[in-house]
Structure 1
């Protein structure tokens, strides 16, 4: 089996890696975009929480681009890095790649990208300075 790299996986470790399953498809048989957005939100919150070391909530999903469809059994790898840290918010740039078996080869493709913004909150759900 050969690894065909149409694109390279980022050198960093993936924040989240998960296989797309049949239960995650839309009416057309592709993976539902809402499922992918949910996985991206989880991954972004991991980056934000690790940096802030506190509870965060999602306040924005900006510029979410679905570049290519995701299929059942694709291995989805989500990468994120801090774009900006504000007074109480943190913006995370996210990139989503898949590894797909095609005949005897593995194809790597970037399938989505987005910016997610999180806000640090206290136990009452109020924004707190970072």
Structure 2
């Protein structure tokens, strides 16, 4: 997805509020906190699609487009792009509904981050297992 697109791709998986405890010394939300929210959202979607325990194995080309501020509503959207024998890749986007306290609220919602997360299905011993494509959980 290119910057400037005004619609998220995929399904809304997670919404949360950016809080003061998640900021760097300049008052912006830490990129690592954003990545954690993306991993949580991707993990939820991967589990729903595989009906199994999953683990994160890769994050490709994460791009931070705009900063996130305290009070912003952070929305994670996801879309499955590939399901292999044991792995699933999900494109994730983070969009923000800006806080009412922002000095400039030109946009009602805008994209701040994007990345592809890959998860592997594992059994209870942590060994890779085949994804059951027809599962319902």
User: TM-score by structure 2 length?
Assistant: 0.84
Match of 1:99?
Answer: 97
Q: Alpha carbons of 1:62 and 1:55: their partners in 2 closer, same or farther (altered >3 Å)?
A: same
- Asked if the contact 1:97/1:111 (under 8 Å) is kept, the reply is yes
- Asked if the contact 1:7/1:108 (under 8 Å) is kept, the reply is no
Aligned partner of residue 15 in structure 1, secondary structure: strand
The 2-side partners of 1:119 and 1:96 are apart by: 22
Match of 1:20?
Answer: 18
The 1-side partners of 2:87 and 2:11 are apart by: 24
The 2-side partners of 1:108 and 1:127 are apart by: 39
The 2-side partners of 1:104 and 1:64 are apart by: 26
Runs of 4+ with >2 A deviation: 6-13, 101-107
Q: Alpha carbons of 1:108 and 1:86: their partners in 2 closer, same or farther (altered >3 Å)?
A: same
Q: How does 1:59-74 map to 2 (within 5 A)?
A: 59-74=57-72
Query: How far is 1:8 from its partner?
Result: 3.3
The 1-side partners of 2:31 and 2:104 are apart by: 27
Gaps of 5+ in 1: 1-5
- Asked if the contact 2:9/2:79 (under 8 Å) is kept, the reply is no
The 1-side partners of 2:114 and 2:104 are apart by: 28
Query: How far is 1:74 from its partner?
Result: 0.5
Query: How far is 1:23 from its partner?
Result: 0.2
- Asked if the contact 2:91/2:116 (under 8 Å) is kept, the reply is yes
The 2-side partners of 1:116 and 1:12 are apart by: 14
Match of 2:117?
Answer: 116
1:41 to 39, 52, 58: 39
